[in-house]
Amino acid sequence: MGVTTVTDVRLTDDADGVLNTLFRSEQGGHEQVVLCQDRETGLKAVIAIHSTALGPALGGTRFHAYASDEEAVMDALNLSRGMSYKNALAGLDHGGGKAVIIGDPDQIKTEALLLAYGRFVASLGGRYVTACDVGTYVSDMDVVARECRWTTGRSPENGGAGDSSVLTAFGVFQGMRASAQTAWGAPTLRGRRVGIAGVGKVGHILVEHLLEDGAEVLITDVRAASVDRVRAKHPQVTAVADTDALIRSDLDVYAPCALGGALNDDTVPALTAKVVCGAANNQLAHPGVEKDLADRGVLYAPDYVVNSGGVIQVADELHGFDFDRAKAKATKIFDTTLAIFERAVRDGVPPAVAADRLAEQRMAEGRRK
């Protein structure tokens, strides 16, 4: 097993290839980036530790067929930075980290590959705690945990909390309630039209919360089976052809619940919704999108704030999981989201900027301890 470790990821002029990608990162210096390869199993992975100011880095493992290794590295950098901010505003004693495994999970995921990945995570000695993300599941974490004790999101049978999507969806719903309170004066989605892009692990649970609250729900997903599953259980839900059609539908709330970059120069001008609140990570495609949303009168609930229910759940697992305790903490996402909207108005900045300021304040305080 070989490990390549890159530390202090900041701007430089004399690197090339993957290192240049790392050093060009506009997000500031990551503490550590580990490039992992196990030729026997076909494992290629990137583990990015953005910050341990508040405690061991915590974040999931994404398994995805990236177009290039450089794209995978950048995704790990972006996602790990987001986890630092997410964990800070969730009130967790954890920094931010994320891992990506490169490849199509339907084609290359094997028990041997996951065990090899677990050995790499274990080699970090607890600086990074892993969990599920896109392309990985509870059963996968059970395998990883056989080689690495710093693994969360395991099955209850193996001492874990189970699927973290449950509280992720619950937290997004709390953020959506806070958004409704701010936009329309009442913390409910009753009578509102909500469009969900992506009804996989998190999105299909969010559908349940919205229907129970009395919302009208529209959905789309690149996987027809995911749409069919929701429609079979809830025939009152409307399916649309694709994300472009969903965005252009007459909506009150748009909920991106798939991959990142959902809010960009093409989608923002087409939005009909007054509120954007969803589970996807890194929804803003580039700096400045948050201002574009504000200029159009769209209230944006920062993704890393409202989707933190899952990390709250897996963090609780490290202390002997108690669902009621974790859910009570995830309920506070409502209050945190409201506080961010209030600070945004007070400071005269978009909510995304207000959220960043609050998170950076907590991380700075953690470093001084």
For the record, the structure tokens of 254 come out as 């748009």
For the record, the structure tokens of 12 come out as 């430089």
Residue 186 near residue 176 (C-beta atoms within 8 A): no
Dist. CA 330–CA 307, nearest whole Å: 9
Residue 316 near residue 93 (C-beta atoms within 8 A): no
Which amino acid type is present at position 21? T
The candidate with the shortest Cα–Cα distance to 136, out of 244, 45, 221, is 45
| SS3 assignment, position 275 | strand
Residue 68 near residue 146 (C-beta atoms within 8 A): no
Size (the chain), residues: 369
Residue 88 near residue 362 (C-beta atoms within 8 A): yes
Looking at the chain, the number of H-run helices and the number of E-run strands are 16, 13
- Is 44 among the catalytic positions? no
3-state SS string over 44-110? Answer: EEEEEEEECCCCCEECCEEEECCCCHHHHHHHHHHHHHHHHHHHHHCCCCCEEEEEEEECCHHHHCC
Dist. CA 260–CA 262, nearest whole Å: 6
Catalytic residue among 98, 201, 274, 329: 98
| SS3 assignment, position 7 | strand
**Of all residues in the chain, what percent are helix, strand and coil, respectively (each to 5)?**
45, 20, 35
Any idea which residues carry the catalytic annotation?
98
